[in-house]
């Protein structure tokens, strides 16, 4: 374990990096990697290596890794596939212990040539160098200040989510999209064909890394089935583990073979895996991100009994439908709480029940506080979900009273869920839908994102739809209480 940890750590916290294949061609992978590294603010020493010997992006070029003046922790190799074994051999000779091969043209091509090249790489690694890839984007490590090629704009702040993905593009998409949802990562690895370093090495590392609080993975296939199973079974009880296993259909399995040369495995094997470990299975990108949001904002989880507070009746019906389909409950409110609510809300247009229909989306702070307080007081409610309440001034103007709410009132309203969460000790979840999506409605969308960010900052998870919110809550409950 200790060996694996320090081996893997070189890929996330290298003190120096050699980039093989950086050249005058600014669109070459090597050069772009060099550029991303510099722009992202890597603090260690960088060595650019290329046979040509010219200067690239202000870096002196070395003709070979064997000429480097100093010890190097990590080599990032971007040369045509046929030259990759020689490059890796040079790194081994230079005493480098960790290498990433970015380019493709190996086993994923399903050609003898590609397979042979990858076999050759594997043979070299056995002599004392660990290899990530080939056919990958490498690592994103905010703490180590290194990033994947398309990750120049990724957040520089660290967070608690560790992610490994066989797909480079998914590392780019998942980090990019979830950054907007308040998610921050400890370490991300795109490990491609998994020729040497595979999912088990990386998961073992993340499970033992104290900065990583939640372990997540996008997998197309698994190299060492038994080891993978043992590692996940042993550790997923202690650290929440979220796995998106792709390629479980016959069409997906064939595509996985072409993408990362993976054998996808059967649905039955994977169902058994999820039954026998505490890992949470998710089935798509939205669910993966939403479950990350859940674990980020509701670290202790929440139960399955939802109190739904809805600014309108149809949403209450829809919400109830989805809640039940997701396996959650919406227990009836106790009669003393119903009586309290009857004294607070008008009789007409509302429905004093669970789901609770407030009648309209625009709410006054004092009424809203009293309502949420009453719902939260219910012994049979674990989590309060708020939908279609207008926290936005512009929305309020478009859809509500011509009178509308004042900016101050809305500011106070925004703090109500946070206050209720504090006072009741129960988690509060907010659903904020995109209301209008025309090209002229961007101001509304800006306001929505600002409100979302405000809630995330205060550890109130925000989701765009009922379905996504309830699925995330259900996944939390499944993990923390082994129910559903």
Contacts (CB under 8 A) with a second copy, residues 245-264: 246-252, 254-256, 258-260
Task: Pick out residues in 1-30 that bind a second copy (CB under 8 A).
Answer: 26-27
- Contacts of residue 363, Cβ cutoff 8 Å, sequence gap at least 6: 311, 371, 389, 390, 413
Pick from 436, 458, 459, 480: which binds a second copy (CB under 8 A)? 436
Residue 413 Cβ vs a second copy, minimum distance, rounded to whole Å: 18
Residue 321 Cβ vs a second copy, minimum distance, rounded to whole Å: 4
Nearer to a second copy, 63 or 177 (CB): 177
**How is residue 374 written in tokens?**
């009453």
How wide is the angle at C-alpha 222 spanned by C-alphas 216 and 225, nearest 5°?
105
Nearer to a second copy, 20 or 98 (CB): 20
Question: How many chain residues bind a second copy (CB under 8 A)?
Answer: 94
Which among 300, 307, 275, 252 has a CA at the least distance from the CA of 429?
307
Q: Is 196 in the site for a second copy (CB under 8 A)?
A: no
Pick from 1, 2, 343, 403: which binds a second copy (CB under 8 A)? 403
- The answer to whether 185 touches 142, Cβ cutoff 8 Å, is yes
CA distance 21 to 33: 10
CA distance 235 to 206: 10
Q: Is the dihedral of CA 452, 456, 459, 461 positive or negative?
A: positive
Nearer to a second copy, 262 or 278 (CB): 262
Q: Is 417 in the site for a second copy (CB under 8 A)?
A: no
User: Look-up: residue for tokens 């960010």?
Assistant: 453
Of 90-98, 120-128, 240-248, 265-273, which segment contacts a second copy by CB under 8 A? Answer: 240-248
Give the relative orientation of helices 285-297 and 168-179 as an angle to the nearest 10 degrees. 50
Nearer to a second copy, 31 or 235 (CB): 31
- The answer to whether 108 touches 193, Cβ cutoff 8 Å, is yes
Task: Pick out residues in 268-297 that bind a second copy (CB under 8 A).
Answer: 284-286
Partner residues linked to 428 by β-bridges? 384
Q: What is the x/- site pattern for a second copy, positions 442-481, by CB under 8 A? A: x--xx--xx--x-----------x-x--------------
Chain mean position to CA 91: 33
Q: Is 435 in the site for a second copy (CB under 8 A)?
A: yes
Task: Pick out residues in 49-108 that bind a second copy (CB under 8 A).
Answer: 81, 103-105, 108
Residue 114 Cβ vs a second copy, minimum distance, rounded to whole Å: 9
- Contacts of residue 399, Cβ cutoff 8 Å, sequence gap at least 6: 361, 362, 390, 435
Query: Which strand (E) or helix (H) includes residue 214?
Result: strand 214-219
**How is residue 320 written in tokens?**
């109830």
Q: Is 433 in the site for a second copy (CB under 8 A)?
A: yes
Pick from 357, 382, 460, 472: which binds a second copy (CB under 8 A)? 357
Pick from 197, 316, 337, 430: which binds a second copy (CB under 8 A)? 316
Nearer to a second copy, 323 or 413 (CB): 323
Phi and psi for 107 in degrees, rounded to 5? -60, -25
Q: Is 370 in the site for a second copy (CB under 8 A)?
A: no
Pick from 107, 139, 147, 167: which binds a second copy (CB under 8 A)? 167
């Amino acid at each position: 374990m200790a060996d694996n940890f320090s081996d893997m750590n070189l890929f996330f916290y290298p003190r120096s990096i050699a980039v093989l294949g950086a050249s005058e061609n600014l669109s070459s992978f090597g050069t772009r990697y060099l550029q991303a590294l510099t722009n992202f603010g890597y603090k260690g020493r960088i060595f650019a290596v290329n046979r040509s010997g010219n200067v690239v992006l202000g870096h002196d070029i070395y003709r070979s890794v064997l000429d480097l003046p100093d010890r190097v922790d990590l080599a990032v190799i971007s040369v045509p596939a046929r030259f990759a074994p020689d490059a890796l051999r040079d790194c081994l000779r230079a005493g480098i212990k960790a290498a990433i091969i970015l380019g493709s043209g190996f086993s994923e091509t399903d050609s003898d040539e590609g397979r042979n090249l990858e076999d050759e790489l594997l043979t070299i690694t056995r002599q004392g160098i660990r290899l990530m890839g080939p056919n990958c984007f490498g690592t994103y490590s905010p703490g180590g200040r290194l990033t994947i090629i398309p990750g120049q704009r990724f957040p520089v702040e660290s967070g608690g989510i560790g992610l490994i993905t066989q797909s480079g593009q998914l590392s780019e998409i998942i980090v990019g999209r979830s950054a907007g949802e308040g998610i921050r990562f400890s370490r991300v690895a795109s490990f491609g064909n998994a020729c040497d370093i595979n999912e088990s090495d990386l998961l073992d590392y993340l499970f033992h890394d104290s900065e990583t609080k939640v372990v997540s993975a996008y997998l197309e296939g698994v190299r060492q089935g038994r080891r993978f199973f043992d590692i996940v079974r042993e550790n997923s009880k202690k650290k929440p583990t979220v796995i998106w296993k792709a390629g479980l259909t016959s069409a997906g399995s064939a595509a996985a073979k072409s993408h990362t040369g993976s054998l996808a495995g059967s649905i039955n094997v994977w169902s058994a895996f999820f039954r026998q470990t505490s890992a949470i299975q998710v089935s798509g990108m939205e669910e993966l991100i939403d479950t990350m949001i859940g674990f980020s904002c509701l670290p202790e989880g929440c139960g399955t009994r939802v109190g739904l507070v809805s600014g309108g009746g149809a949403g209450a019906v829809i919400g109830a439908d989805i809640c039940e389909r997701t396996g959650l409950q919406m227990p009836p409110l106790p009669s003393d709480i119903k009586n309290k609510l009857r004294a607070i809300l008008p009789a007409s247009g509302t429905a004093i029940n669970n789901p609770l229909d407030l009648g309209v989306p625009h709410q006054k702070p004092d009424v809203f506080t009293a309502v949420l307080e009453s719902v939260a007081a219910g012994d049979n409610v674990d989590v309060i979900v708020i939908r279609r309440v207008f926290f936005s001034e512009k929305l309020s103007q478009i859809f509500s009273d011509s009178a509308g709410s004042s900016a101050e009132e809305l500011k106070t309203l925004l703090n109500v869920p946070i206050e209720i969460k504090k006072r009741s000790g129960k988690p509060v979840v907010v659903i904020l839908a995109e209301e209008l999506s025309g090209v002229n409605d961007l101001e509304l969308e800006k306001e929505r994102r600002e409100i979302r960010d405000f809630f995330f900052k205060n550890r109130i998870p925000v989701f765009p739809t009922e379905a996504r919110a309830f699925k995330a809550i259900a996944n939390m409950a499944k993990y923390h209480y082994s129910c559903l």
